[in-house]
Chain A
């Protein structure tokens, strides 16, 4: 628990300084309000640091990453990133088809169910978004 509180503390301090540094480069009149917020966050961070120190080491909530599935997590985040990256190149439907198939199969969904879900999703999106609502979807070189 303490470990994560300390991570948060470090993150907050870094964030405060970064924000302060950026705010300092603004013209004075514009920077007043950002300075005020920096001060607020600074005080709150201080309170949190003191709280962290005051608290005794408790076992409660230990290991928020206890059940962390590193490989699976990395797989999902990479596939999502790749999806956003190619969606404007390949076009929405092509990219979605590939992304859904790969992710579903990668997450051990039965192949046939994956295919049905993917096709169903694409058709659903096409009807609701394209033909009826005319929501613009990312367009690529293909579709």
Chain B
């Protein structure tokens, strides 16, 4: 009996102690934001591409913000777990997060996710990584025309690696193939590192990748970029044609933006936008981003929202017409 009593006493003590501590928190007004560290959700693993970008930006931005930006990695289910967490967080400005596009809008279309695209409030865009078609430098194709011609003569023979069935690179490759009227074999890999390794080891003929992943390999002469999925030719690769100028109207790339949960006060969004915009434009950030091969592209909140809508329309209207097998 004595034992039970003492246990109960301990429990009561612990509860009362901690309950009084809990009151120390409380509501914050938007005016003196931020009063405590801000949590930044990254829906991918520590050390991955998104994480590296986020850490580089946040290390600069927290100096301007005056409060620490704490990166919290919530990986799993292609980002769905982290995105859900972000969308459901309290919209008080103390939880924000990075989203990847088109993944963020494509997941709700592919399966029954617990978040919607509308559950977030865009702050700004940080990175835009355009897609490119690459082959090995020692391959027989020097131009995109030769590549298409070969594919036309040998239907289904060319193998193109991607970072997973239905993932962005797969869609990019399939869209190009459809427009060019060629039949290729798509080979899904576990991620973009594996997908590139397969190309570099000569196990597949080509791959559709993002420029940041292949820029240094193309410069060192190991890989050759045949074409880019951009409006204009890429900086540093002026002799690489765009697919658009070759008559195939397809643009594609991945963007990484910063968002807050829906309902976050407008003043806080504006403050965060200004802070992060300043951080992006700072020479320190630009230098670090250049070293890490991050293609920076600023977009404001409205522009980012529009971009998300555009991506969703593309996924809804164009993708179902593609041959993704």
CB <8 Å contact, B7 and A142 = no
CB <8 Å contact, B21 and A105 = no
The interface residues of chain B, by DSSP majority, are classed as helix
CB <8 Å contact, A91 and B14 = no
Taken together as a complex, chains A and B put the C-alpha atoms of A142 and B3 apart, in Å, by 26
The interface residues of chain A, by DSSP majority, are classed as helix
Taken together as a complex, chains A and B put the C-alpha atoms of A90 and B7 apart, in Å, by 17
Give residues 52-95 of B contacting A (CB, 8 Å).
Answer: 70, 72
Q: Which residues of B contact A97 (CB under 8 A)?
A: 10, 14
Interface: A94 (CB within 8 A): yes
CB <8 Å contact, A111 and B6 = yes
- Per-residue A-contact encoding for B291-305, CB less than 8 Å = 1, 0 else: 000000000000000
CB <8 Å contact, A94 and B72 = no
Chain A interface residue bracket vs B: 10 to 19
The residue from A105, A134, A136 contacting B7, defined by CB atoms under 8 A apart? A105
Given A102-B7, A105-B3: A143 and B14 interface contact (C-beta under 8 Å)? no
CB <8 Å contact, B18 and A98 = no
Taken together as a complex, chains A and B put the C-alpha atoms of A105 and B6 apart, in Å, by 10
CB <8 Å contact, A143 and B7 = no
- Per-residue B-contact encoding for A114-143, CB less than 8 Å = 1, 0 else: 000000000000000000001010000111
Give residues 6-32 of B contacting A (CB, 8 Å).
Answer: 6-7, 10-11, 14-15, 18-19, 21-22
Taken together as a complex, chains A and B put the C-alpha atoms of A23 and B212 apart, in Å, by 40
CB <8 Å contact, B18 and A143 = yes
Taken together as a complex, chains A and B put the C-alpha atoms of A134 and B71 apart, in Å, by 11
CB <8 Å contact, B3 and A98 = no
CB <8 Å contact, B11 and A142 = no
Closest chain B residue to A118, Cβ basis = B10
CB <8 Å contact, A142 and B10 = no
Q: Which residues of A contact B7 (CB under 8 A)?
A: 101-102, 105
Q: Which residues of A contact B22 (CB under 8 A)?
A: 141-143
Q: Which residues of B contact A102 (CB under 8 A)?
A: 7
Taken together as a complex, chains A and B put the C-alpha atoms of A142 and B14 apart, in Å, by 10
Taken together as a complex, chains A and B put the C-alpha atoms of A111 and B7 apart, in Å, by 10
Taken together as a complex, chains A and B put the C-alpha atoms of A90 and B21 apart, in Å, by 12
CB <8 Å contact, A136 and B15 = no
Q: Which residues of B contact A111 (CB under 8 A)?
A: 6
Closest chain B residue to A96, Cβ basis = B14
Q: Which residues of B contact A105 (CB under 8 A)?
A: 3, 6-7
Q: Which residues of A contact B72 (CB under 8 A)?
A: 136
Nearest CB on A from B62, distance (A):
14
Given A97-B14, A98-B11, A136-B72: A142 and B19 interface contact (C-beta under 8 Å)? yes
Taken together as a complex, chains A and B put the C-alpha atoms of A136 and B75 apart, in Å, by 14
Pairs of residues from A and B, 4 with the lowest C-beta to C-beta distance, nearest first:
A142-B18, A94-B18, A142-B22, A97-B14
8 A-B residue pairings within 8 Å (CB atoms): A90-B15, A94-B15, A98-B14, A101-B7, A101-B10, A102-B7, A142-B18, A142-B21
Given A91-B18, A93-B18, A101-B7, 19 further pairs, Cβ under 8 A: A90-B15, A94-B14, A97-B10, A97-B14, A98-B10, A98-B11, A98-B14, A102-B7, A105-B6, A105-B7, A111-B6, A141-B22, A142-B15, A142-B18, A142-B19, A142-B21, A142-B22, A143-B21, A143-B22
